[in-house]
């Protein structure tokens, strides 16, 4: 049986780490796209020791630096004939408005735009691998009120949770666009809510955000449990007919009304393509 080649962003902790570990146990060849390569190498050794899987590789990729994303995609394209699974797992929430190296609002850059460029840059080998693209979204998408005239949060007061919710809505838009545009080329795409997971997520929050996370902690699930839907979507047979859908607990689930907005979905694609255009050459 051919080895399944899986690429995961943000795999050095939390559900990303548990997803990588679980898929390594299923004999996937795992490419860890990480910002901190020292932590990535440590995880590689941990996975190899735990699973006896030696097909674990580390590639530097900082989603807040589009040049880094382009370089990571170049390494993968020179190393692989095809990718079977791409899990866009990395993400984050920020207590104040920060900017990426390229001048984009950090929540938008890390949760959406970096992954958008990664997919566009990897399209040739995603097509060859008949890939499943899995985007980690969240029920936080329900609080989103996207403003396409101010994607970078410069014209209105910054809200960490609204910015995060908007980025998670964009993950769903992106998923549905991928399913529509690239489904005929053999690519399928899925979005998912992993659950309220007890990880380091939101560790940098202060004030109300910190209090909210503290109140929620007793109800949170483990990272291993939070990874179950990602692992399911990466490994289950015959789910391509559900491409474009949003999953919870390994089953398709409903979304907010805003997530079904085709105008917003298409506008996000158009603006994202404009923003990454300088990095596609």
The answer to whether residue 32 is domain-embedded is yes
For residues 228-256, average pLDDT: 97
Specify the residue for token string 């992106």.
174
Catalytic residue among 31, 57, 158, 164: 164
Q: What is the DSSP annotation of 156-209?
A: S---HHHHHHHHHHHHHHHHHHHHHHHGGGT-EEEEEE--SB-SSTTTT--HHH
The answer to whether residue 152 is domain-embedded is yes
Identify the band that residue 62 occupies on the pLDDT scale cut at 50, 70 and 90. Answer: very high
Which CATH number fits the domain that encloses residue 58? Answer: 3.40.50.720
The answer to whether residue 108 is domain-embedded is yes
Specify the residue for token string 């995060």.
164
The answer to whether residue 174 is domain-embedded is yes
CB 11 within 8 A of CB 89: yes
pLDDT at 59 > cutoff 70: yes
Q: Give the total number of structural domains in the chain.
A: 1
Q: Is the pTM for the entire model greater than 0.85?
A: yes
Determine the structural domain holding residue 159 and report its residue range: 5-276
Does 164 participate in catalysis according to the annotation? yes
Greatest Cα pair distance in the chain: 54
The answer to whether residue 281 is domain-embedded is no
Tens digits of per-residue pLDDT, 181-218? 999 999 999 999 998 766 555 455 455 444 454 444 55
The answer to whether residue 115 is domain-embedded is yes
């Amino acid at each position: 049986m051919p080895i399944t080649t899986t690429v995961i962003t943000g795999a050095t902790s939390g559900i990303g780490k548990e997803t990588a570990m679980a898929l390594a146990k299923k004999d996937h060849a795992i490419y860890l796209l990480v910002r901190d390569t020292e932590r990535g190498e440590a995880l590689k050794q941990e996975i190899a020791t735990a699973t006896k899987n030696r097909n674990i590789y580390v590639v530097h990729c900082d989603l807040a630096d589009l040049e880094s994303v382009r370089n990571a995609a170049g390494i993968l394209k020179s190393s692989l004939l095809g990718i079977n699974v791409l899990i866009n797992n990395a993400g984050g929430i920020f207590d104040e408005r920060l900017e990426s190296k390229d001048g984009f609002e950090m929540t938008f850059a890390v949760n959406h735009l970096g992954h958008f460029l990664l997919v566009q840059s990897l399209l040739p080998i995603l097509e060859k691998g008949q890939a499943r693209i899995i985007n980690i979204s969240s029920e936080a998408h329900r609080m989103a009120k996207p403003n396409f005239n101010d994607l970078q949060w410069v014209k209105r007061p910054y809200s960490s949770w609204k910015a995060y919710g908007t980025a998670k809505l964009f993950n769903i838009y992106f998923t549905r666009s991928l399913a529509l545009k690239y489904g005929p080329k053999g690519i399928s795409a899925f979005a998912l809510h992993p659950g309220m997971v007890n990880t380091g997520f939101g560790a940098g929050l202060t004030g109300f955000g910190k209090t909210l996370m503290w109140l929620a902690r007793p109800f949170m699930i483990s990272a291993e449990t939070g990874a179950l839907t990602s692992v399911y979507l990466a490994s289950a047979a015959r789910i391509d007919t559900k491409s474009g859908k949003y999953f919870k607990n390994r089953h398709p689930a409903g979304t907010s009304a805003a997530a079904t907005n085709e105008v917003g979905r298409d506008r996000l694609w158009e603006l994202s393509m404009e923003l990454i255009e300088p990095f596609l050459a």
